[in-house]
Chains A and B, each alone.
Chain A
Amino acid sequence: MTAYIAKRLIAMVPVLFGLSIIVFMVMALIPGDTATAILGAYATPENVERINRDLGLDKPLVQQYFIWIGNVLHGDFGRSFTLNRPVLAEVMDRFGATLILAGTALVLCSLIGLLAGIVSAVRQFGWADRIITFVVLAGISMPSFWLGLLLILVFAVTWRVLPASGMYAVYGGGDLPDLLYHLILPAATLSVVAAGVIARLTRSAMLEVLRQDFIRTARAKGVSETRVIYAHAFRAAIVSVIPVIGIQAGFVLGGAVYIETVFQWPGIGAMMVKAISTRDILLVQGGVLVVAASYVLFNLMADVVQTMLDPRIRT
């Protein structure tokens, strides 16, 4: 197992390398140059040239990349010109908030999704199944930012039971209960779509597995129906659900962009949206790179879990 994890970690290196190239290329191909963005439309040619030289933008692309990646590996992501502080510091400040939000949402959507999927499969065509199927369909068809606004309207404006925005109360607060209190609405909103996707997949995986020959074998052995469903069917179905949870982590991390904007959560998504509109390229670059790398790492964990659960891949 350790050897497997080591192998997967090594295999991550080219992926991260590829990621960095894509991120760099996307940013390098930006029409309109950074210098103009920094200095404004009325910059003098001399100033533009100076900025370009400072940022190394006058060198060939390949060289630029290696300078950049070299700096990145040393933790130097450059300096955000809009915030006038190092990109890494800003990204790390923000990333914690995003992780809290996305992590909570991922746990929530996995639990709800798996549970709803199992209930739906076991009670196929029953009332529970119909209600779950409908709720799930509605959930995955809803724009999450709209759902967020609706929840704010209901819980923060009309009922005034939950806060509409932010991570902590402005005056006082700052402790864990305060954080959880602020976390409820955004985390719930963020988990809706992913929970729906996981529930659908769990349902169909369960139904698929329940028709397999080995389920019939279990029944022929005289195993109780509860055991057939949980020890046999769910045990086999979870193997195909895990990779989807891995993919959903990506949707949750990406979806956080909307939710952070709606709930003014001080995360990395909201930061990037602002950075894009101010064309603070280095900030976008750093943000994308860090989030993508963490997603790669998460997918690795999902792979490892799946391998632990499925002996057929293990050997």
Chain B
Amino acid sequence: MSLALQDNVTAPAGPQRISTFKLLLQSRLASIGLVILLLLVAIVLLAPLLPLVHPDQTAPANRLIRPFVTAAHWLGTDQLGRDLLSRLVWGSRVSIAVGFAATLVAALIGSVIGLVSGYAGGRTDNLMMRGIDMLMAFPYILLALAIVAALGPGLMNALYAIAIVNIPFFARNVRGVTLGLAHREFVDAARLSGKGHLSILWSEVLPNVAPVIVITMSTTAGWMILETAGLSFLGLGAQPPQADLGSMLGEGRAQLFTAPHVAIVPGLMIFVIVISLNLLGDGVRDALDPGLKSGALSRPGPVTRIDRTKPAPPNSQPEAILSIEQLETGFSNGNSTTPAVRGVSLHLDRGECLGLIGESGSGKSVTALSIMGLVASPPGVITGGAIYLDGEDVLSMPETRLISLRGSKVAYIFQDPLTTLHPTYTIGQQVAEAIAAHQSLGRRELRERAIALLEQVRIPDAAARADHYPHQLSGGQRQRVGIAMALANDPDVIIADEPTTALDVTVQAEILSLLKQLQTERRMALLFITHDFGVVAQICDRVAVMKDGEIVETGQTRTVLTRPHHPYTKRLIACVPEIGDGDRFLPRVEKLMASQTKEAAQ
């Protein structure tokens, strides 16, 4: 059926689950780290079986042999004539074992503290976190030193010290995530399903916290190996004759000037172990962090990438202030591009208000952002079409020209005014910046103009409010600031992307009437993106209906609303409940659904 509105009829998309491990192996660096690490672990595990000299076997006659000189001592010997290769393998065995053990201990204790603290909240949380803060109030290694000082030098004591010192990292990370989860809807839902606290912690919270624990483990394991080596280097960890890499380095230091290899070789080994752990750790983090999974953490450039294969289509509406011709915008993932806007043509006359309406995923916002190249790119890419602004193709302009037209000729108003305003600048500064981007004025004058703009959008006591930060304002006032910034340079076109969706209905009504009034006063063209037919009816002269990246119907607002042409529009409008419909609404929808199911069956 072409009208795939009835989402319950279509079975949900088949699962395309990629295992975390596969994802990990996709990263070349992480794979390298994993291979090196596995190789090292295999070697140290097999150490007793390898044809090595006993690591503590001294031979004063063969002291300080350089590496690669004799086949018997491939890596040379130390000051007591002990074979460095053998000592390196056995020392790595100790270092890796102690590092991993410390990681496990710290992870276990820290995670339990974090889970309990974050989930219980209140006093328990406060008490536990104050304790953790105390531990963190010590400089990292200093606390380990104090603990070793108390327990006495020794490898096991170094292990305890390192583990204790790292507990706060786990406790804090795990608590942070748990705290966020404890108030999530699904935890409430589990409670309502009859689950007790322990069961919720174990089966609802822990699975969601586990990635964080694994990430923290993989990123701190390297640290712990470094720190254990450090304590041994200072003579506070492994005690002779037992040796780990750190104590080998410490002993070799005395021969630094005569036989540097004795110190350099164990250090190199530590470096290789830790770097392979860190490579793997970064890979694990990327694979487990859903935010990073899709490569979403790439930096969007100043202008959307334009990659047109076909020549720009001619301008069919030369009088229009803005004319979009067969626009195609997509999102590239690797080598393929998923289209979001497929050949949209629209025009906006001077002083007119055009509504662009569609459901989520219809491509309406992408269309709006494409106009001034604001689609985040990567992954966004404009693959075809033309956008004529006052007769000039925006997509053929040099980047600097396009940027200079933003805000001066075409201004935007965005949806959520809290996230769209900069959190650390006052609203006066932000409005002033909008002016300053296109006009060179003095500080004083900028401020005066900014306050005047704030007054025009009816912000009460604008001069005092100008010094406020966005978080100190209500949602409606923030959106007024957004409008003030858009008006700053008297643009010809304002593009408003769902500007009232985040607002309460009474505030929405006020903002809409303000927008309408300003638009008529200043004879600006307004492109209004929304999903709400009621809003369209209120302020738009014409409306275009979008579905799956295409425009299915355009016309005068009144005509489209009362006599929709396209079946999709018909259906969409029928689904909008309206005050006054009352109990007639549901029977109407029911009839509609029944007839469409029948259509689909035929």
Contacts and interface: CB of A to CB of B under 8 A. Distances in A.
Interface of A: 15, 18-19, 22-23, 26-27, 29-32, 121-122, 124-125, 137-138, 140-146, 149-150, 152-153, 157, 204, 206-208, 210-225, 228, 232, 235-236, 239, 249-251, 253-255, 257-258, 261-262, 272-273, 275-277, 281, 284, 288, 291-292, 295-296, 299, 309-312, 315
Contacts of A310: 423-424
Interface in B475-519: 482, 485, 488-489
Contacts of A138: 271, 275
B253 A217 contact: no
Given A141-B275, A236-B424, A212 B419 contact: yes
Contact of A254 (B140, B302, B420): B140
B535 interface: no
A149 B271 CA distance: 14
A258 B374 contact: no
Contact of A143 (B146, B249, B407, B469): B249
Given A122-B299, A137-B279, A142 B374 contact: no
A228 B271 CA distance: 38
A216 B420 contact: yes
A60 to B, nearest CB: 19
A277 B274 CA distance: 28
A250 B140 contact: yes
A222 B423 contact: no
Contact of B256 (A142, A143, A152): A152
> In this complex, which of A145, A211, A235, A292 has the most chain B Cβ atoms within 10 angstroms of its Cβ?
A145
Given A150-B264, A153-B256, A228 B302 contact: yes
Contacts of B127: none
A207 B298 CA distance: 7
Interface string B149-165: 11111000000000000
Given A141-B278, A292-B137, 17 more contacts: A15-B134, A15-B137, A138-B275, A149-B264, A210-B299, A213-B420, A217-B482, A219-B406, A250-B140, A251-B141, A254-B142, A258-B233, A261-B234, A273-B145, A277-B235, A312-B469, A312-B471
Interface of B: 130, 133-142, 144-153, 222, 226, 229-230, 233-236, 246, 249, 253, 256-257, 260, 263-264, 267-268, 270-271, 274-275, 277-279, 282, 296-300, 302, 372, 374, 376, 403-408, 411-412, 414, 416, 419-425, 433-434, 437-438, 469, 471-472, 482, 485, 488-489
B251 to A, nearest CB: 12
Contact of B134 (A19, A214, A215): A19
Contacts of B150: 26-27, 29-30
A312 B485 CA distance: 22
B145 A220 contact: no
30 contacts: A18-B130, A22-B138, A141-B271, A141-B275, A143-B229, A143-B249, A143-B271, A149-B256, A150-B264, A152-B256, A157-B257, A211-B296, A211-B297, A213-B419, A214-B423, A216-B376, A217-B412, A220-B407, A220-B414, A221-B406, A222-B404, A223-B433, A250-B138, A257-B141, A288-B142, A292-B137, A309-B424, A311-B424, A312-B424, A315-B472
Contacts of B423: 214, 236, 310-312
A125 B299 CA distance: 9
Contact of B420 (A26, A211, A214): A214
A31 B152 contact: yes
A93 to B, nearest CB: 18
A27 B148 CA distance: 10
A292 B469 CA distance: 36
A257 B149 CA distance: 14
Contacts of A299: 137
Nearest to B469: A311
B374 A216 contact: yes
A310 B424 CA distance: 6
Given A137-B279, A258-B234, A315-B472, A276 B403 contact: no
Contacts of B296: 211
Contacts of B138: 19, 22, 250, 288, 292, 295
A277 B153 contact: yes
A143 B302 contact: no
A32 B154 CA distance: 15
A146 B419 CA distance: 46
Nearest to A257: B141
A219 to B, nearest CB: 6
Contacts of A141: 222, 226, 271, 274-275, 277-278
B286 to A, nearest CB: 11
Contacts of B372: 220
B260 A276 contact: no
B285 to A, nearest CB: 10
Contacts of A251: 139-141
B141 A254 contact: yes
A284 B139 contact: no
A31 B282 CA distance: 41
B304 to A, nearest CB: 10
Given A288-B145, A292-B139, A204 B406 contact: no
Contacts of A275: 149
